[in-house]
A and B are shown apart, each in its own frame.
Chain A
Amino acid sequence: MWTKPWNMKEGFLIGGGLIFAGLLLELSVGPVVWEAFAWPANGIVLAGFLAIIAIVFLFRKKVYAFQFIGTYQAAIPAMVYAVVLTIVMGLTRQQVNGTWLNNMLSFWPFVLVYVYIAVILGVVTLKRIISLTSHHSPLTSNIAFLLNHLGLFIALTTATLGNADMQRVKMITTIGEPEWRALTQEGVVKEMPIAIELKRFIMDTYDDGSPKRFASEIQILTKTGKNIETTVDVNKPYEVDGWKIYQYGYDTQMGAQSQISILELVSDPWLPLVYTGIYMMLAGAVCMFVIGGRKRA
């Protein structure tokens, strides 16, 4: 144990140590408060996180533990812990106000294991980029590696840190009355930079009465001076000034005669970054299919 080179055993112990540390944190400071990560805190945390990864990478020759982080023997146990904790999450009922296992996304051991995975992803990405200049391994497999690992790193970190900046509000629009107030998820009334008036609510049903289509013809007035008439369908949101407007609900008692339409307005400033990661992973998956299980030279 702990004789160099470290192996899977040490990898599992490090992961276990992280989970233990997470449990201590959960006991002492309580669950992770994701709301605290709103801008600019998440920007600062991201900068700090990238700095830590850079330090781990730069000092990998000096500190053996840092070198170990970039190995399969570190990555595999980390992924095994992530699988196990996520299975626990899948088997327990998750609640917004839940604690410990019932609110896995705020449970320190779960969060720390995924942060650890993000560190590993960052370090192996840097390692691979450096080796591009020195080694002559096949270019296609390097591209696939970088798309998959860097893509997942970007998607994981920006989705997690950007979550606190995401706003989701419900606006109840009525025919003939412009509405600019909306309800946040916590039930707080919020004044929006957009006013929406419902012009007509559209509802088609199947023969058995179940809804086939529901949509809203709306007029949008923005503080930036835009005046737009459009139709918002389920699956077809409309985007204006950084807000995506979704068809959410209607007066189900009234059905097709509903005089109101509930719209959801979503703003997610970090979305372009998350999508960058997702598109990289999509390209990486295509590369994975093309290359197959071919062994690296």
Chain B
Amino acid sequence: MSWEHFIYFAIAAVLLWAVGAWAAWKDKTGMAYTTTVLGLLVFFSFILSMWISLERPPLRTMGETRLWYSFFLPFAGLIVYSRWKYKWILTFSTVLALVFICVNLFKPEIHNKTLMPALQSPWFAPHVIVYMFAYAVLGAAAVMALFLLFRKKPLTSHLTPLTSEMDITDNLVYVGLAFLTIGMLFGALWAKEAWGHYWSWDPKETWAAITWLAYLVYIHYRQLPRHRNRLALWMLIGSFVLLQMCWWGINYLPSAQGSSVHTYSTSE
């Protein structure tokens, strides 16, 4: 199995997810679950066969992590849907997954088979997978924030978001932050085994700390008895920008060049 076969799996998965999203709008809950799960299975079977043919988990290159991101978006959507029954969440997660699938289809990157010894660890898969799940959920929170800030409702205009809408955002952030924390701490435990120290303020670690703290500001600000929801939503968008810096931005950051142990694709 290789990237040439990706398009067939991607089309099948996206179609199944789209049917699931439509079923959620039509209150066909059972159908929404079934098709979304089927789509996830189709997509995961591609990841799994890549894993087997590469003889390593496909988690190293940006293209490979995008693969997981595309998988976890509908997965996170499904969990949120099963817990809080938001009709829109499956549509949203499908569209976002499609974006990342398209990036992988139209801007494929060189993928090679090798995996340097530092990455050969049982921590590798959980560390990256947990992070990708966190990014997916926090991405959902950021889009929710954009929606609440910029939607147009000229007639029944209520500029301030409703409590129920803010609660959705909070739920997404709590789930995302929980996974962000787990991903970061798994990284620390792994770093101790691989590099001799659990935290070295490597640029990736520094930006992970920034991202983590930024989301902490949001959840604490929301606990303030008197706070402005719109400011809180802007915080979420700002935090997600910082998250992008942590995820891929540091690859382009002059201050991080040559000093990060997290840039694997260029260091060989």
Query: Contacts A72-B220, A281-B181; is A235 near B206 (CB within 8 Å)?
Result: no
Residue A212 at the chain B interface, CB threshold 8 Å: yes
What are the residues of chain B within 8 A of A266 when measuring CB–CB?
Answer: 196-197
Flag if B182 contacts A282 (CB, 8 Å): yes
Distance between B81 CB and nearest chain A CB, rounded to angstroms:
14
Residue A208 at the chain B interface, CB threshold 8 Å: yes
A77-89, CB under 8 A of B: which get 1 and which 0? 0011011001101
- Interchain CA distance A94-B169 in the complex, whole Å: 36
Distance between A275 CB and nearest chain B CB, rounded to angstroms:
8
Flag if A211 contacts B116 (CB, 8 Å): yes
Pick the contact of B175: A75, A246, A268, A289 (CB < 8 A). A289
Flag if B181 contacts A288 (CB, 8 Å): yes
A241-267, CB under 8 A of B: which get 1 and which 0? 000101000000000000000001010
Distance between A88 CB and nearest chain B CB, rounded to angstroms:
10
Flag if B196 contacts A206 (CB, 8 Å): no
Pick the contact of A76: B121, B174, B221, B255 (CB < 8 A). B221
B208-238, CB under 8 A of A: which get 1 and which 0? 0110011011011101100000000000000
Query: Contacts A79-B213, A210-B268; is A281 near B185 (CB within 8 Å)?
Result: yes
For chain A, which range describes its interface: under 10, 10 to 19, 20 to 34, or 35 or more residues?
35 or more
What are the residues of chain B within 8 A of A82 when measuring CB–CB?
Answer: 213
Query: Contacts A76-B220, A86-B206, A234-B120; is A292 near B185 (CB within 8 Å)?
Result: no
- Interchain CA distance A93-B117 in the complex, whole Å: 27
What are the residues of chain A within 8 A of B203 when measuring CB–CB?
Answer: 90
Residue A168 at the chain B interface, CB threshold 8 Å: yes
A204-223, CB under 8 A of B: which get 1 and which 0? 00101011111000000000
Residue B142 at the chain A interface, CB threshold 8 Å: no
Flag if B120 contacts A80 (CB, 8 Å): no
- Interchain CA distance A274-B250 in the complex, whole Å: 27
Pick the contact of B113: A75, A206, A282 (CB < 8 A). A206
Flag if B224 contacts A246 (CB, 8 Å): no
Residue B41 at the chain A interface, CB threshold 8 Å: no
Flag if A286 contacts B117 (CB, 8 Å): no
Residue B27 at the chain A interface, CB threshold 8 Å: no
**How many inter-chain residue pairs (CB < 8 Å) link A and B?**
130
Number of residues from B at the complex interface, CB < 8 A: 57
- Interchain CA distance A91-B214 in the complex, whole Å: 16
Flag if B178 contacts A89 (CB, 8 Å): no
- Interchain CA distance A82-B256 in the complex, whole Å: 20
Residue A92 at the chain B interface, CB threshold 8 Å: yes
Pick the contact of A288: B115, B174, B220 (CB < 8 A). B174
Q: Quick one: which of B164-191 are within 8 Å of A by CB?
A: 167, 169-171, 173-175, 177-179, 181-182, 185, 188-189
Flag if A159 contacts B199 (CB, 8 Å): yes
Flag if B182 contacts A94 (CB, 8 Å): no
Q: Quick one: which of A34-80 are within 8 Å of B by CB?
A: 72-73, 75-76, 79-80
Flag if B210 contacts A79 (CB, 8 Å): no
Distance between A133 CB and nearest chain B CB, rounded to angstroms:
22
Flag if B117 contacts A213 (CB, 8 Å): yes
Pick the contact of B217: A83, A91, A235 (CB < 8 A). A83
What are the residues of chain A within 8 A of B171 when measuring CB–CB?
Answer: 292-293
- Interchain CA distance A224-B78 in the complex, whole Å: 57
Residue B68 at the chain A interface, CB threshold 8 Å: no
Flag if B196 contacts A289 (CB, 8 Å): no
What are the residues of chain A within 8 A of B116 when measuring CB–CB?
Answer: 210-211
Residue B9 at the chain A interface, CB threshold 8 Å: no
Flag if B196 contacts A264 (CB, 8 Å): yes
Of A76, A166, A264, chain B has the most CB atoms within 10 Å of the CB of: A76
What are the residues of chain A within 8 A of B253 when measuring CB–CB?
Answer: 90-91
Flag if B214 contacts A83 (CB, 8 Å): yes
Which residue of A has the minimal Cβ distance to B268? A210
Of A73, A159, A213, A235, chain B has the most CB atoms within 10 Å of the CB of: A235
A-B complex: 3 closest residue pairs judged by Cβ atoms: A293-B170, A289-B178, A234-B117
15 contacts between A and B (CB under 8 A): A76-B217, A79-B216, A90-B203, A90-B245, A94-B255, A168-B196, A210-B114, A212-B117, A234-B120, A235-B121, A236-B193, A246-B195, A271-B192, A274-B198, A289-B179
Residues of B within 8 A of A (CB): 83, 112-118, 120-121, 167, 169-171, 173-175, 177-179, 181-182, 185, 188-189, 192-199, 201, 203, 206-207, 209-210, 213-214, 216-217, 219-221, 223-224, 242, 245, 250, 253-256, 259, 268
Besides A73-B224, A90-B255, A212-B114, 7 new A-B residue pairs in contact (Cβ under 8 A), listed by A number: A76-B220, A82-B213, A90-B250, A93-B255, A212-B117, A234-B117, A292-B174
